[in-house]
A and B are shown apart, each in its own frame.
Chain A
Amino acid sequence: MGTDLDIILKKYKQGKREDLIPILQEIQEDHGYLSEEAIVKTGNFLGLSTTKIYGLATFYDKFRFIPSGKIQIKICHGTSCFLNGSQAVINKIKEETGIVAGQTSRDGNFSYEIVSCMGGCNNGPVMNVNGEYHTHIKPEQLPELIKKLKYVIDND
């Protein structure tokens, strides 16, 4: 688990309304997701209703509300990657992991999300696994990759 919430909040001494997104971003970075507790604490700190914070946070794809898996996959669904067949990759991941984008598998191993562009348009489809980029991904490569990742988790 990441840094204590109070330590993060302390950095924003004034507790102004405009600090909301930076605070949420920092919690997201640190914890990997926005827990109910984090939203309540931020709300108390800034004097904002949790309803408003949740409404705002759900607007942005970046924020998650459930912990991400040990292996976090991001797949680009931008124009270029889409034209190069990212939909087939997404379908394959769905098939292999058995989860929908934004979810985390029950064993907590996998989570994947669809993002708009990661800046690798000439190398599409682009996939990011725990910060590591994979380019020119083809659906048939995925079973092998996921097997490898599972092996890493199991022997960690």
Chain B
Amino acid sequence: MLFTIQVNNKKIRAEKGETILSALNRNGIIIPTLCRMKEFTPTGACRMCVVEVEGRDRLVTACSQPVEEWMKIKTHSPRVITARKTIVELLLSNHPDDCLYCDRNLNCELQRLAEELNIRERRIRARKIKPRLDQSSPSIVRELSKCILCGRCVRVCEEVITATSLDFINKGRETHVGATMDKDFNFSSCIHCGQCVLVCPTGALHEKHYLAEVQEYLNKPEMVKVIQYSSMVVYGIAEELGLRYTKGFDKTLNAILRKIGFDKVFKTGTGTDVCITEITGQLSERIENKADKPLYISACPAWVKYVEQFIPSLIPELSTVKSPQQITGVLIKTLVAGQLGVKPEEIFSVSATPCMAMKFEARRDGMMRKGISDVDSVLTVRELARLIRLYGIDTSNIEEEPADEPMAGRSSAAIMAEVSGGLAESVLRSLHFMKMKKEPDKQLFKKLRSGGLFRETSLQIDEKDVRVAVVDGLTGLEKLKISLASGKKYDLIEVMTCPGGCVHGAGLPFSPSKDEIKSRAKLVYQSDDTEAINLPCKSPSCINLYEKLLKDNSDIADKKIFYTHFEKRNVLL
């Protein structure tokens, strides 16, 4: 039901049941917010969104107050603006004020609010929060003095990721956000997905930087500098550098990376193709053996850690195939090292990903051989963009170059792995082709592509119904549990930690809106529709790898390097 309310002496239409904020936003009136996250219930904790409602003594929070017919609202009256300004001044009163050195400089919500509200002096002085820097985690750094206690990370971790590794500790002036028993982060149940970093309005949570390390090695002439980047990085870099993504931007990126000083540029996509092929092999074997339990895809490192901590009983069902990054990494340190005639330790292998858990994964047990890790440094898209800016590369004026063999090409199935449901679809497509010698109609996977936390479908392959389920975001696990409990059987289950898949990865540009994530996914589907090679087994790089390179290299011919193991983790849950 629509009705009219008065805002700033003008009439606007509001809908019954919606909040003041949503009515205002729909009518083009912008109100600053801080603790609000769109898909969550409002908390009204930060009071940034206060407005004046005639007849009410106190200012009300627009984010949580339902709109009512009699309301006469003032959104930018002197009283409201003073209140908002005071809130930000109070937040700044104990803030470290080291913006110039801060990770979020020029990209900070608190900084932006201070700027928007025209705060030009420190009016309120308070004791600074005692600095506490927690660098214990391989992927996430916590700087507690920069925290403004908005609680977004706490809510995301509990409500979206369900790992619940963060909560408010203590009360009053002593309040801070921390892990259980106030321990350092690597002792917590954190699964390194990084969604908390993505929602943090300040620099209190950010990724652990490996840029200095990369720079140091780039200047070592005796090392072979190698980088691999996944398909999502191409979109992400375009987004972060403010360029329009066009087809073939990956070739531009190759040239940029070579200009920075990388000797070899590889595509993680080839690794994804290998990953799909291996999982297809495992699945086919399981189906032939009439396995009772489903195969869980293990390409998402955050999901793997989640299983190891919370549901260790599932470990035997996890596919032992490494993730695409690690497969590419191990190929670099074995195959490429052999081709170049260098020792593995003479290669410095960097990976650029849209994921933060990959930073953790590269340091996992089983991801190194003879003490040499397969992937030495993992950079997020944001870090890679920094590196590109640091080297002052003019991105608009650059020749396109191909990536390096043997990992120069990928199928469109590999890019599909970036969206939730895509990897399962690719595996099914591969299996279909393997058994029936023809590609299935993509329409058959419609159910796997459309929204929802939990999606399922089945595909007739070789007179056998292959049933697959997709869990999009860990909250979907509940639905999977219910479905399994009701007696449903699946052959393949894909779980992605970040809702939407890697397109919502925590290494991508900050504060993505739902539409942005959708448009990233759309780009993925577009690539899949327009590219000619839709299957790993049709990609020349992948064929070359399997048919020739692996067979010629006796050390890796058994393909053991593509597999790993998982173990139960003892952390405080």
A contacts, CB < 8 Å to B: 36, 39-40, 43, 49-55, 58-59, 65
Within 8 A of A (CB), among B151-202: 158, 164-171, 179-182, 188-189
Query: 10 more A-B contacts (CB under 8 A) besides A52-B167, A59-B170, A59-B171?
Result: A40-B573, A49-B164, A50-B180, A50-B181, A50-B572, A51-B179, A52-B164, A58-B169, A58-B171, A59-B168
Contact across chains for A58 and B170 when beta carbons are under 8 A apart: yes
Contact across chains for A51 and B171 when beta carbons are under 8 A apart: no
Residue of A nearest to B172 (CB): A59
Majority SS at the chain A contact face: helix
Residue of B nearest to A52 (CB): B167
Please, could you name 16 A-B residue pairs with CB atoms under 8 Å apart, sorted by A?
A39-B572, A40-B573, A43-B573, A49-B165, A49-B189, A49-B573, A50-B572, A50-B573, A51-B164, A51-B180, A51-B189, A54-B180, A54-B181, A58-B169, A58-B182, A59-B168
- Min distance, Cβ B150 to any Cβ of chain A, angstroms: 16
- Min distance, Cβ B531 to any Cβ of chain A, angstroms: 43
What is the CA–CA distance of A50 and B180 in the complex, to the nearest angstrom?
6
Contact across chains for B573 and A55 when beta carbons are under 8 A apart: no
Contacts of A54 in B (CB 8 A): 167, 169, 180-182
Contacts of B171 in A (CB 8 A): 58-59
Of B167, B188, B189, B572, the residue contacting A55 (CB under 8 A) is B167
Residue of B nearest to A36 (CB): B181
- Min distance, Cβ B171 to any Cβ of chain A, angstroms: 5
Contacts of A51 in B (CB 8 A): 164-167, 179-180, 188-189, 572
Contacts of A52 in B (CB 8 A): 158, 164, 167
- Min distance, Cβ B305 to any Cβ of chain A, angstroms: 15
Contacts of B179 in A (CB 8 A): 51
What is the CA–CA distance of A55 and B181 in the complex, to the nearest angstrom?
8
B contacts, CB < 8 Å to A: 158, 164-171, 179-182, 188-189, 572-573
What is the CA–CA distance of A49 and B163 in the complex, to the nearest angstrom?
8
Contact across chains for A36 and B572 when beta carbons are under 8 A apart: yes
Contacts of A65 in B (CB 8 A): 181
Contacts of B180 in A (CB 8 A): 39, 49-51, 53-54
- Min distance, Cβ B159 to any Cβ of chain A, angstroms: 12
Of A36, A49, A55, the residue contacting B169 (CB under 8 A) is A55
Contacts of A53 in B (CB 8 A): 180
- Min distance, Cβ B473 to any Cβ of chain A, angstroms: 18
Contacts of A58 in B (CB 8 A): 169-171, 182
Contacts of A36 in B (CB 8 A): 181, 572
What is the CA–CA distance of A43 and B168 in the complex, to the nearest angstrom?
17
Residue of B nearest to A44 (CB): B573
Contacts of B165 in A (CB 8 A): 49, 51
What is the CA–CA distance of A39 and B573 in the complex, to the nearest angstrom?
10
- Min distance, Cβ A53 to any Cβ of chain B, angstroms: 8
Residue of B nearest to A55 (CB): B167
- Min distance, Cβ B441 to any Cβ of chain A, angstroms: 44
What is the CA–CA distance of A15 and B294 in the complex, to the nearest angstrom?
32
Contacts of B166 in A (CB 8 A): 51
Closest 4 pairs (CB-CB, A-B): A55-B167, A49-B164, A51-B180, A50-B180
Contacts of B189 in A (CB 8 A): 49, 51
What is the CA–CA distance of A40 and B571 in the complex, to the nearest angstrom?
10
Residue of B nearest to A61 (CB): B171
Contacts of A50 in B (CB 8 A): 180-181, 572-573
Residue of A nearest to B157 (CB): A51
- A39-B167 contact in complex given A49-B189, A49-B573, A50-B572, C-beta closer than 8 Å: no
What is the CA–CA distance of A67 and B227 in the complex, to the nearest angstrom?
52
- Min distance, Cβ A54 to any Cβ of chain B, angstroms: 5
What is the CA–CA distance of A36 and B179 in the complex, to the nearest angstrom?
13
| Central interface residue in B158, B166, B171, B181, by most chain A CB within 10 Å | B181
What is the CA–CA distance of A108 and B158 in the complex, to the nearest angstrom?
37
- Min distance, Cβ B239 to any Cβ of chain A, angstroms: 33
Residue of B nearest to A43 (CB): B573
What is the CA–CA distance of A65 and B178 in the complex, to the nearest angstrom?
16
- Min distance, Cβ A1 to any Cβ of chain B, angstroms: 20
| Central interface residue in B166, B179, B188, B573, by most chain A CB within 10 Å | B573
What is the CA–CA distance of A62 and B469 in the complex, to the nearest angstrom?
48
- Min distance, Cβ B169 to any Cβ of chain A, angstroms: 5
- Min distance, Cβ B255 to any Cβ of chain A, angstroms: 46
Contacts of B181 in A (CB 8 A): 36, 39, 50, 54, 65
What is the CA–CA distance of A49 and B164 in the complex, to the nearest angstrom?
7
| Central interface residue in A43, A50, A51, by most chain B CB within 10 Å | A51
